[in-house]
């Protein structure tokens, strides 16, 4: 058939933005483009192999799936070609001309976010194709889907500025060629050995053969050679795999450029056989920062070495979403769909095995490699905490892995485990005490800790946002109750109770005076067993939300019920003595309100009327 005339279309605005960002921020790591294009070619071969299970005709005449990388010094082009699934015209438009995937938007968000994502992570966002424009000022894609006739080929071409053209063409071979017309100063990629070393570096563990022309006198010859290992690394036994191989496999799998922190590689034989190779990254993958709750990627499911799908959501719980790896099952039916997978008993077993392996690995790090564990915890500790809520079955195991700052710890560093805490409990102590606050400083300085400090009782200091949520599900550890120092009344021994009663009795006049003066602002005023130095603090009921959290939620636009605080006082403090003896009712009211104001500030609450607070303070200072 004759080829139709080209049609020109505009990129969607967000694609143009991505292109602009990518070409500018990837400049110092341009070689990434090769990794990304080979990764796409490999995905295309995976897809064809999978589809051909149900439809063997798709492989007709050409069953050797492979990837070709070639260069042409005269034309100044580099071409990456695969005989994989290929794309129809509509698929080309949807996949590389629009923001069909949400990856584009996520990439833009991540790149403009404060944490300044490294552009080398581009492959993790599903926008890797665009890295071609870092080295090329024109990119041509020729593609024909495996189930389409020769006349249904499509040619896509763009200079990456704002438009692309589409032409229907004849293509005798199925699959996709991506032809890069290199920019004037990118001659380094016109050398065979350079391309080869990049492939060895980034793509050695692609499971399909990557073939290149042999280089003769600086030019490509007609002889082709395979330059990668092209085997499924995870299918080898551990003893045959070097650390370097594990690391380089991780990098191509996770589109990461850092080494993995650790990995666990296991084969289960039996009524159900499967292999798992699971990695802990060193740095959080992007989707972790972005919340990562939709479209989770990172764990590939294979069945007898045929790639089936990205099954992170099916094989790993949310709180382990940082794990990257491969699961290869021997006994699942090859024609599984996602729906079938979700209700598959074998898969449930594999999922449980994955969770166990990962927790084993983290536990091993915590025991044998404290430095690596610290790196892990810094990157993923807060994510792991979600498991306390999410995975009741492993709650105790996860809790064992958590680390906190503490009144007896190393400053703000999160280094104290619950076992450390229990190991140095005071005689007769049966509770693990903690406090939650906005920050380490606010927690450590809280008046609510005074009595604990005086008695030498350790208190864990929690200041991550996820802590409050997690603690709702962590009431006990190793038969010890966990309790918030700010909540409820402190359990006192008999002598303490008696003392407390006497103190309350002795303080009756001042308590009454305060209640009268504060009126509506408080629920209750009582003598505190928590204070030694400060005049006042807030106490929360067992089910009340911490004031700093209520403030955060309110600031985030949530409706929060107004609850009246319970004020606790230290009758020994000179300020209380002054309230008691103050004859001037205006001054007494100022003092009483100030006692409440400062308790609220220390607890990270929102002052209901900051201007009134300032005026009170000034009146008292001026006297």
Q: Which residues bind ligand ADP (CB under 6 A)?
A: 36, 40-41, 43-44, 82, 84-85, 87, 95-96, 126-129, 176
Q: Smallest distance, Å, CB 290 to ligand ADP?
A: 15
- How many other CB atoms sit within 10 Å of the CB of residue 598? 19
> How near is the Cβ of 178 to ligand ADP at its closest, in Å?
6
Beta-bridge partner residues of 575: none
State in angstroms the smallest separation of the CB of 176 from Mg ion: 12
Distance from CA of residue 326 to its chain's centroid?
18
Q: Of 127-135, 269-277, 328-336, 415-423, which part binds Mg ion (CB under 5 A)? A: 127-135
Interaction between residue 213 and Mg ion (CB under 5 A): no
Phi and psi dihedrals of 567, rounded to 5? -100, 130
* 121-129, 261-269, 397-405, 490-498 -> range binding Mg ion (CB under 5 A): 121-129
- Following DSSP, what letter does each residue of 90-159 receive, concatenated? HHHHHHHTS--STHHHHHHHHHHSTT---GGGGGGGT-GGGGHHHHEEEEEEEEE-TTS-GGGEEEEEE-
DSSP for 448-464 reads GGHHHHHHT---EEE-S
Looking at the Cβ atoms of 100 and 241, the one nearer to ligand ADP is 100
Strands (E), 469-600: 476-477, 480-484, 524-527, 536-539, 566-569
Residue 550 binding: pick among ligand ADP, Mg ion, none (C-beta 5-8 Å cut-off by kind): none
Closer by beta carbon to ligand ADP, 46 or else 386: 46
Closest distance of CB 127 from ligand ADP, Å: 5
Cα–Cα dist 290/381, whole Å:
16
Based on the shown chain and the rule CB under 5 A, indicate whether residue 124 belongs to the binding site for Mg ion. Answer: no
**Of residues 144 and 357, the one with the C-beta less far from ligand ADP:** 144
- Considering only residues 1 through 60, tell me which ones interact with Mg ion, judged by CB under 5 A: 39-40
Copy the structure tokens of residue 609. Answer: 């009327």
Residue 389 binding result from ligand ADP, Mg ion, none, given CB thresholds of 5 to 8 Å by partner type: none
Cβ 543 to Mg ion shortest distance, Å = 49
Name the residue nearer to Mg ion (CB basis): 139 or 595: 139
Q: CB of 324 within 8 A of CB of 250?
A: yes
Q: Which stretch binds Mg ion (CB under 5 A): 105-113, 126-134, 188-196, 567-575?
A: 126-134
Determine contact, residues 118/191, Cβ cutoff 8 Å: no
Closer residue to ligand ADP in complex, CB, 91/489:
91
One of 128, 213, 285, 387 touching Mg ion (CB under 5 A): 128
CB–CB of 164/156 below 8 Å?
A: yes
CB of 152 to ligand ADP, least distance (A): 15
Residue found under tokens 């024609």: 335
46 vs 358: CA distance, rounded Å = 27
Contact flag: residue 414 with Mg ion (CB under 5 A): no
Q: Which residues bind Mg ion (CB under 5 A)?
A: 39-40, 128
């Amino acid at each position: 058939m004759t080829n139709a005339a080209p049609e020109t279309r505009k990129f969607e605005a967000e694609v143009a933005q991505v292109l602009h960002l990518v070409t500018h921020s990837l400049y110092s790591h341009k070689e990434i483009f090769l990794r990304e294009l080979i990764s796409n070619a490999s995905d295309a071969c995976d897809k064809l192999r999978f589809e051909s299970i149900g439809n063997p005709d798709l492989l007709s005449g050409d069953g050797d799936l492979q990837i070709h990388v070639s260069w042409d010094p005269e034309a100044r082009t580099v071409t990456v070609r695969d005989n994989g699934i290929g794309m129809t015209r509509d698929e080309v438009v949807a996949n590389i001309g629009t923001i069909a995937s949400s990856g584009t938007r996520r990439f833009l968000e991540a790149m403009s976010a404060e944490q300044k994502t490294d552009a080398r992570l581009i492959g993790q966002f599903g926008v890797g194709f665009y890295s071609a424009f870092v080295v090329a000022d024109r990119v041509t894609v020729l593609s024909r889907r495996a189930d389409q006739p020769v006349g249904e080929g499509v040619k896509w071409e763009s200079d990456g500025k704002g438009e692309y053209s589409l032409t229907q063409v004849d293509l005798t071979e199925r699959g996709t060629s991506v032809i890069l017309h290199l920019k004037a100063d990118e001659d380094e990629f016109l050398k065979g050995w350079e391309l080869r070393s990049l492939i060895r570096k980034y793509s050695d563990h692609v499971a399909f053969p990557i073939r290149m022309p042999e280089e003769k006198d600086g030019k490509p010859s007609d002889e082709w050679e395979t330059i990668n290992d092209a085997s499924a690394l995870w299918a080898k036994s551990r003893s045959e795999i070097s650390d370097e191989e594990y690391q380089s496999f991780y990098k191509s799998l996770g589109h990461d450029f850092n080494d993995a922190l650790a990995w666990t590689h296991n084969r289960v034989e039996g009524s159900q056989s499967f292999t798992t190779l699971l990695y802990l990254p060193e740095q959080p993958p992007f989707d972790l920062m972005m919340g990562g709750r939709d479209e989770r990627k990172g764990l590939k499911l294979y069945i007898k070495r045929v790639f089936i799908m990205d099954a992170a959501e099916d094989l790993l719980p949310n709180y382990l979403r940082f794990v990257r790896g491969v699961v290869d099952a021997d006994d699942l039916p090859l024609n599984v769909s996602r729906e079938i997978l979700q209700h598959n008993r074998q898969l449930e077993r594999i999922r449980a095995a994955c969770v166990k392996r990962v927790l084993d690995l983290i536990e091993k790090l915590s025991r044998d490699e404290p430095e690596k564990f610290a790196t892990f915890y810094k990157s993923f500790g807060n994510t792991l905490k979600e498991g306390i809520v999410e995975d009741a079955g492993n709650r105790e195991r996860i809790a064992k892995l958590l680390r906190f700052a503490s009144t007896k710890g190393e400053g703000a560093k999160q280094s104290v485990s619950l076992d450390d805490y229990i190991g140095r409990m005071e005689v007769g102590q049966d509770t693990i005490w903690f406090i939650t606050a906005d920050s380490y400083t606010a927690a450590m300085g809280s008046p609510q800790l005074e009595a604990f400090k005086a008695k030498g009782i350790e208190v864990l200091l929690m200041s991550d946002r996820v802590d409050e949520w997690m603690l709702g599900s962590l009431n006990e550890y190793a038969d010890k109750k966990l309790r918030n120092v700010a909540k409820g009344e402190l359990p006192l021994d008999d002598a303490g109770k008696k003392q407390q009663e006497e103190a309350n009795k002795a303080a009756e006049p001042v308590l009454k005076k305060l209640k009268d003066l504060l009126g509506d602002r408080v629920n209750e005023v009582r003598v505190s067993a928590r204070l030694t130095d400060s005049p006042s603090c807030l106490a929360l009921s067992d089910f009340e939300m911490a004031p700093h959290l209520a403030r955060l939620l309110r600031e985030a636009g949530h409706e929060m019920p107004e609850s009246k605080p319970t004020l606790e006082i230290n009758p020994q403090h000179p300020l209380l003595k002054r309230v008691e003896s103050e004859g001037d009712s205006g001054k007494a009211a100022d003092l009483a309100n100030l006692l409440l104001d400062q308790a609220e500030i220390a607890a990270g609450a929102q002052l209901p009327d900051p201007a009134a607070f300032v005026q009170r303070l000034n009146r008292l200072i001026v006297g």
